[in-house]
Structure 1
C-alpha cells in the first residue's frame, strides 16, 4: 500500500546536524506569527464580493504565472489551453477546468527543485489535505478533493484571511481606480486589513498606447480635468491622496530602469503635451520622461507619506508575438541587468534624508546586492532594501541575499519578507518558506558564535513581522 503524501517537518531547514537544531528553535518563534502581505496582486474584488472560488484550476493554476511559465516551457500546451484567453481571438480558450488541472498535474515533475514546487506542496497538503502527489493518474482525485474544499463556505476569500492569519494585505490597484470596493470593505470594518496600493506605471510611460485615455481616466477618478502637464501632476497628487484616505500606505513602481534624473519643467511639459495630444515621441524621450516622473513620484511621496516601492529591471513582454496574442503580463517578462548607484542618486540626494520620504527598492539582479543596494540602504535613512522578489523569491536566492546584503545593510535596513503573488493560496506557503530560510541563515550565525540564540530569534521575528509592519507603517 502506498504511503500517504506528507511533508517533512524540517523541509528547507539546513541539512547539517549542527545548525539544524538551532534553526528548528528559531523557526518555532516565527512559524505562527501573523502574515503581513503588503505587496500582493490579489484582486480587491475577491474580498469585496466574497464569492466562492469557482474551481481548482481558476484558483491555483490560471492566475499563477510561475506555474504557467514552467508548463509553457515544456512546449506541450499554449496559454489558451491553460485557461488564458487569447485577446486577439485567435484561439478558443480552454473552458474545462478539469482539463487545465490535468495538464498541470502531468507537468508536476518539471517543478522539481523550484520554489513553485515548495509552495504547491504546502498548499496541496497543508491547506487542502491532499494525500497523493500530482500526476496524470491522480489529477482527477486531487481535483475532486480541492473542489470539495473550496465549495465549503469556510473557504471564501474573507474566511481565508482568518484561516491564513493574514493580518493585513495590500492589493495593487490601477491609478484610475474608483476605490469603490475598498470603500465598501471599510464600511464593513475591513478598511485596515485590505489596503489599496497606487500603481501609476501606465501614466508615466509616454509610449503607452492608451496613455491619454489612462491619464484622463485618472483625472476623472480624482476629480481633476487634465488638459496639460500641470493638471496631470494635480491629478496624480489628488489620486494619491484618495488612495491614502482609503487606507493605502504605498505606491508601486515597475520602471524599466531606476533612473531618477529630473528634467526642467518646461521640457517635461513639452514631452507630456506631445504624447497627450497623439504626437510621436522617441525612445529616448520616453526614457527621460519616465526618469523625471519617478523623481516626481518621490517628491510627492515626501509630501503625502506613501511608501514608494520600486522594482525595476524587467523586460516586459519579451515575446512580442505572445504579448500581442494574450495581452500584457503574458509575453514572458524576463530580468535584465540594472545599475542603481547613479540611477538613484538624484532621488536620494534630494529626498534620501527627508523625514517624510520612504522608499523600498527591490531587484531581481542579484549582482547589485552587495555592490550597490546594500551600501545605499546602509546609509540613506529613507531607503530600505526589499526582500528577494519574483525570480529570486526562492530558497537558494534568499540564502545568497542574506549572505550578500546583511553585512552591509544590516537587518534593520531591510523590508522584512514581502511576498509578490497573484496566487492567494500561495501566500502562507511563501511566508513559511521565507521563515524557514531565515531560520537557517540565522542558525549559522549562532553556530559560528556571531549571534546569540536570543538575538537570532528576535531577528527572525523582525524579518517575519516587525520589519514589514515598520516599513509600511501609515503616516
Structure 2
C-alpha cells in the first residue's frame, strides 16, 4: 500500500469492503482500455507540429480557468498568474503564487487532476505534492526539466496516455491543415478529429457576428448572397469538416431554446441583424431558429449534434475587459430542456441516424427532463457531467439521477472537455472509477448481476462513445 493519495489503488472506490471488492474487479475490466475523447479543446497544431510544451506555469496554470478562478477567489490578481497573456510577473513567480494557494484545492476536482498529473505524468514525489506550497521552486524546476526532455512532446504523450481518439474544437473557417497533416502521417497511431463549432456565426450577440458572417459568405457561399448564402456557406463548411474527419458539431449556446421559423421570417431577422438593428429578443429568436437549422443539417450530413447550454459567459465585465474570455468567470444558471427542444424534436427526434447529445450545468434537469427525453427519443443521448459537474460526487449524482429512467444505454460516454492535455488520463481514470463504484453498489444491492455489471462498464467506457459519436 502507498501513502500517496494519487497512487492509492482504491482512490474514489466505495469505502464498504464488500462493495469495494466488486468495484476493483469492475475497474480492472476497463483500466487498460484506450482513451476516447470525442469532445475537447487541445489545439490540433500541438499534435501536428509536436510542439514542445512551454514552462510549467504556461502549461498547467495560466490557461486553466478551473485553477485560476479559485486562486482569484482567495484575493490574488489573475495578472499574478499570467492569465490572458499578461506578463506582469515572470513564470516562476506566478508558479509560486499558485503553489502558495495549493491548499485551497483540497477536495476539489481540480486538485484531484493536478495531484494525479504531478505524480503520474511529471514524477513529483507525493511528499512534494502534499506540501507544494513548501516546494514551489523545486517543483517548478522538476517539471521544467521534464518539459525539456525530447520524449516529453505531445505525440509521445498521446501514445503514453493511451489515447486512440482526440477531438478538437474548431472555427468553421479553420483550414484544418493540422488535421490534414496528422491524417497523412502513417507513423502517428491515433485519430485527431476536428469539431465544427459555429457559435460566433449563429449568435447575433457575438461582437464579431456581422464580420464573421461576411467572411463566411464571401469564402464559402458559392456566390450566393443573403440568408440563402449564409445557410449554404454553413453547409459547405460542415462538409469541409467531414472531409477532414469530423464526427460532430458542437454548440455552446446560452439556453437550449429551439424554434422553427418560416423562411421569410428567418430571412427578415437575418437582414435586421446585419443592419445592426436586432433587439435582444430578436437575437435570441434567431439563434434558437439556427439551432433548429443545425439539427436539420445534422440529419442531412450525419454530424452528431452536441449542445452545451447554461453558462453566463464573462460574468465579470472588468475581468473580461482586461483578461478576455475563458478566464474563470463563466457562471452556471438554471435552464429548462423539455419545452426548449420540443420544436427540434418534433421534426427530428425520430429521424434515422440523428444523434443529439444534451449536456447541462444544471443538475436539476438530470432526472426531471434529460433522462425522460433520452428515455423516449432515439436521437437523444445524455451528455456526461460537464465542466463544474465533471467531479466525482457530481458524476455519481448524475448516474443515480438518470439510470432509473434511461438505463445505461443512453449515455454519451465520458467527455473530458479540456484544454489541459496532461490532465486527460486523470479525468478518464476518474470516470472509470466512478462508473465502477456505481455499478458495484447495484451489484451489492442485488439490483444487477456482477456478470452484467462487467458488460455494462465496458459499454459505458468504450462502446458508448464509439456508438454515440459514430467513431
Q: TM-score range by the shorter chain?
A: over 0.9
Residues 1:443 and 1:375: Cα distance change in structure 2 (over 3 Å): same
State the shift of 1:74 in Å: 0.6
SS at match of 2:123: coil
Aligned to 2:269: 271
- The aligned residue for residue 85 of structure 1 is 84
The residue aligned with 1:248 is 246
1:298 aligns with 2:284: no
1:180 and 2:177 matched = yes
- Looking at structure 1, the residues matched to 173 and 300 of structure 2 have their Cα atoms a distance apart, in angstroms, of 20
Aligned equivalent of 1:127: 121
- State whether residues 191 and 247 of structure 1, in contact with CA within 8 Å, keep that contact through their aligned partners in structure 2: no
Distance 1:331 1:61 in 2: 12
- Cα RMSD between the aligned structures? 1.6
Which stretch of structure 1 is more off in the superposition, 219-228 or 66-75?
A: 219-228
User: What CA distance in whole angstroms lies between the structure 2 residues aligned with 1:118 and 1:4?
Assistant: 12
**Counterparts of 1:292 and 1:191, CA distance in 2:** 40
3-state SS of paired residue (1:174) = coil
Instruction: State whether residues 63 and 84 of structure 2, in contact with CA within 8 Å, keep that contact through their aligned partners in structure 1.
Output: no
CA contact 1:362–1:386 (8 Å) conserved in 2: yes
Distance in structure 2 (CA, Å) of the matches to 1:329 and 1:375: 32
Task: Using structure 1 for the length normalisation, give the TM-score.
Answer: 0.95
- Tell me the SS of whatever aligns to 2:260: coil
Cα drift, residue 467 of structure 1? 0.4
Partner of 1:162: 159
**Counterparts in 2 of 1:20-419, with a 5 A limit?**
20-76=20-76, 78-85=77-84, 93-94=87-88, 96-131=90-125, 132-133=128-129, 134-189=131-186, 193-222=191-220, 224-225=222-223, 227-276=225-274, 278-330=275-327, 332-419=329-416
- By how many angstroms is 1:95 displaced? 5.1
TM-aligned CA deviation for residue 23 of structure 1: 0.7
Structure 1, gaps ≥5 residues long: 87-91
**Structure 2: which 5+ residue stretches go unaligned?**
none
User: Measured at CA, do residues 258 and 5 of structure 1 come closer, stay the same or move farther in structure 2, by a change above 3 Å?
Assistant: closer
Give yes or no for contact 2:132–2:139 (8 Å, CA) kept in 1.
Answer: no
Residue 445 of structure 2 is aligned to residue 448 of structure 1? yes
Whether the 8 Å CA contact 2:200–2:212 is kept in 1: the answer is yes
Q: Deviations over 1:262-320 (max 9, x none)?
A: 111111111111222x3221110000001000000000000000000001111111111
Aligned equivalents of 2:222 and 2:374: distance in 1? 36
Q: Distance in 1 between matches of 2:328 and 2:59?
A: 21
Q: Against the structure 1 CA distance between its residues 221 and 104, is the aligned structure 2 distance closer, same or farther, given a 3 Å change threshold?
A: farther
How many residues align structurally? 465
Taking a change above 3 Å as real, the CA distance of residues 351 and 422 of structure 1, as seen in their structure-2 partners, is same
Tell whether 2:16 aligns with 1:16: yes
